[in-house]
Amino acid sequence: MDLGLEGKRALVTGASSGIGEAVAELLAKEGVSVVVNGRDDNRTRAVAGKIMADGGWAAAAVGDLQSDEGCAAVAKIASDAFGGIDILVNNAGGTVRGDNASWDDLDTQDYINSFKINFLAPTWLARHFAPAMIERKWGRIINMSSVAGRQRVGTMHDYGAAKAALENWSLNLSSNLSPHGVTVNSISPGMILTEGAQTFLETLRDQLGWPNEQAEMERRWATDLFPQTIPRLGQAREIAAAVALMASPLSDYTTGAVWRIDGGISRAL
């Protein structure tokens, strides 16, 4: 299927690995010129280099998005690389602590740090890129949320709160931008097997006394700890496919939506 993305320009944040890397590579295969953002210089440039080696167009925008200054630096690189951005994929984010902290062990700074990368960075980048999208009468802002933003899980309180805020903001922003041809949507993944998810699984293994076997750790997550109707963890390529469709002109009629891709873990509308 031709998604109609040939010649579009995208910035994918947090694209040096995991979901972001898969998104950047798939968009490039669809003919999109992709700016790959990440904090690690070597890994970010490696992803951009791989895209170029495979025949696509890519540029690296190395930088940390946890401050206005960092966002501004990345935005400038992205704008200069291909003369503008048509598709903004706010994928950078995640838990800021890797120890699965209990609610009473999280302090104010933990919440601030989580909101900086999971919520405030997307708002800054949208403010920067949306005006030109409005002028061109076409654009896409796709925000990566999480099922943690809607579910009662008893953990990841800082992360879940930031993702809930991101979804509400996305819905509100869609009402402002969609009349100008710029759609704003969210994707809400479940547990996707990335490096970060692997580290979290191993933390749970140590905390809960799980066997040190990959298949068993995944099974216990998907059937015992947070039961899903599809008893496995998700793959980054499955999220990338959803992003590509949402970025496509074929999705012109979709805005303010949250697309859950979570293996059936969600138990509410």
- Name the nearest CA neighbour of 205 among 231, 190, 191, 225: 225
Report the C-alpha gap between 59 and 168 in whole angstroms. 31
How far the first Cα of the chain sits from its last, in Å, is 30
- Which distant-in-sequence residues (6+ apart) come within 8 Å of 257 by Cβ? 185, 186
Decide: 236 and 19 in contact? Cβ < 8 Å. Answer: yes
Task: Tell me the average pLDDT across 150-160.
Answer: 77
Instruction: Express each pLDDT in 192-242 by its tens digit.
Output: 999 888 988 898 899 999 999 998 999 898 888 888 999 889 999 999 999
Q: Concatenate the DSSP letters of all residues of 218-231 into one string.
A: HHIIIIIIS--SS-
Evaluate if residue 96 carries a pLDDT over 80: no
Beta bridge partners of 234: 192
List residues with catalytic annotation: 159
> What's the pLDDT tens digit per position in 161-170?
999 999 999 9
Predicted confidence (pLDDT) at residue 101 exceeds the cutoff of 80: no
Beta bridge partners of 183: 140
Q: Among all chains, which residue has been given the structure tokens 């925008």?
A: 61
* Predicted confidence (pLDDT) at residue 154 exceeds the cutoff of 70: no
9-191+236-261 belongs to which CATH class?
alpha beta
CB 68 within 8 A of CB 121: no
- 10-24, 108-122, 141-155, 196-210: least confidently modelled range: 141-155
Question: Where do the domains of the chain lie?
Answer: 9-191+236-261, 193-233
Residue 107, pLDDT > 90, answer: no
